[in-house]
Structure 1
Amino acid sequence: MNTLINKQVTFRDLGLIDYQEAWDYQERIFAETLALKTQNRILSDAEKVLTPNILLFCQHPHVYTLGKSGKPEHLLLSTEDLTAKQAKYYKINRGGDITYHGPGQIVGYPILDLDNFFTDIHLYMRMLEEAIIRTLADYQIDAGRIKGLTGVWLDHEAQVNPRKICALGVKASRWVTMHGFALNVNTDLSYFGNIVPCGIEDKAVTSMQKELGREVSIGEVSNILKTHLADLFQMDLTDE
């Protein structure tokens, strides 16, 4: 049982950053946190060090990522097609299938030690979804969950025209998390036409811009989303 609880979370906005660079950055923080937890195991309570929590927001140039349970055939582009569309493709170590990241999308990477909050991955996923749902509600967009599917959806109850607005995919080891969520704000949705999004063939993808009929401020959405995440996780969130 962890006797040291750290609710402080450092927020960093990485701006528009190459996917591989952001992935390497996550992996470095993730590995450092795991090493610290390993070290704490052999130290007395007086010697133990608090584990850090980092929340990263960013945008990526056009990129497709395939999770561990994904099917490569869900990418509908050849290598030549990817080059023509100035897009990259990575097989990565999060859960889930294939998704797209690009400009106009808020990608969130919480690297949290859940020993500081709660040790329940299912609850963790639902809390991330809830922060997105509350953020969308602030824009009068009615969003929710569809049973058996991760992420945040519109038309989630009647499911006449269900549309995914936020994808989730995480990795966790010894309660330390990485990867996270991607919220479509002003995203170019045509890029989703090149994949079977998250391996789901019969449902569409949407964005805040499409639903509201206007471009939305990424900075404004980010600030609202940060506030909801802090409230739900009871974080002491500070910008760096």
Structure 2
Amino acid sequence: MNKQVFIQDLGYRDYRQTWIYQEQLFQSTLDIKIKNRREGANLETPNHLLFVEHPHVFTLGKSGNLDNLLVNEAELAAKNAKFYKINRGGDITYHGPGQVVGYPILDLDNFFTDIHKYLRLLEETVILTLADYGLKAERSAGETGVWLDVGTPFARKICAMGIRASRWVTMHGFALNVNTDLGFFDLMVPCGIKGKAVTSLNVELGKPSVDMGEVKHKLLRHFGMLFEAEILLQQERTAIKKTKV
């Protein structure tokens, strides 16, 4: 099993452009698995984790309700925001500046074939990262993602998750609010869950901003530990170097 995970930080990038790139990596891995099965080949499948920060965009999962977007096309344009209906699970979510978005494109045959476990480990990656900042984050029963003050009137979501998987290959992932403009969440019903607030790391810490690079570093450290993965930084898709996180 190949437990190397190539890390790319795509920086600030358009959602659709990144989605297409995800699909290319996803399909490339699927093609290898199909070739292995049909031809009896024994080719190694790669694993990737993309970090990215998107311009303002709302995305709706395949089972989502469009009514959870509370603005029309003209109002989206006025906010310089885009909208896409996409092929992940979950309802509606927002991506924007100040948010660390992570897209793991993993072949779970290299790790474990259990989607429930996969989601729980993604949540745990974020929970442990937030603990590094002194925050007690939790899961909320029946609500994928990471929350604070679960079971109280002050429950608020800090990280949304939604994935797609085929033949145990994953795509899409998580969005952790770090320095996010929370006003954009007022334009939708977050994840289709009414009556729950949304927060960000800088708000919880009472800081104007939190270092995004530091957050990514902590996420990688916990991701590598939980998935028992070898983390490799991939620069410009060509030069690869090992890193200790």
CA distance in 2, matches of 1:113, 1:27: 14
Mind listing any 5+ residue stretches in structure 1 that lack a counterpart? Answer: none
Quick one: which of 8, 12, 24 aligns to 1:12?
8
User: Out of 206, 211, 216, which is 2:199 matched to?
Assistant: 206
| Offset, 1:160 | 2.3
- 1:111 paired to 2:105: yes
- Structure 2 residue 105 is the aligned partner of structure 1 residue 100: no
Aligned to 2:173: 180
Aligned match for 2:67, one of 70, 73, 78: 73
Q: Which amino acid aligns with 2:61?
A: G
**Which secondary structure state, in structure 1, belongs to the residue aligned with residue 222 of structure 2?**
helix
Instruction: Quote how far apart the aligned CAs of 1:202 are.
Output: 1.0
Of 127, 146, 160, the match for 2:121:
127
Q: Which residue pairs with 1:237 in the alignment?
A: 231
Q: Structure 2 matches for 1:24-103, cutoff 5 A?
A: 24-44=20-40, 47-103=41-97
Find the counterpart in structure 2 of residue 163 from structure 1.
156
Structure 1 residue aligned with 2:140:
146
1:48: Cα distance to partner?
1.5
Residue deviations 1:121-174 (CA, integer Å, cap 9, x gap): 000000000000000000001100111110000002x42210000000000000
Q: Distance in 1 between matches of 2:153 and 2:194?
A: 15
- Corresponding residue for 1:197? 190
Give the distance between the partners of 1:181 and 1:70, measured in 2 at CA. Answer: 17
Q: Distance in 1 between matches of 2:196 and 2:85?
A: 23
Identical pairs, percent: 60
Alpha-carbon deviation of 1:49? 1.0
Look up the match of 2:212: 218
Looking at structure 2, the residues matched to 42 and 25 of structure 1 have their Cα atoms a distance apart, in angstroms, of: 26
SS in 2 for 1:57: strand
Please tell me the residue identity of whatever aligns with 2:11: G
Aligned-residue RMSD, C-alpha:
0.7
How far apart are the structure 2 equivalents of 1:224 and 1:34?
A: 30
Q: What number of residue pairs does the alignment pair up? A: 233
Distance in 1, Cα, partners of 2:222 & 2:216:
10
Q: Look up the equivalent residue of 1:8 and give its one-letter code.
A: Q
What letter matches 2:4 in structure 1? Q
Residue 129 of structure 1 aligns to a residue whose secondary structure is helix
Q: Give the TM-score, by structure 2 length.
A: 0.94
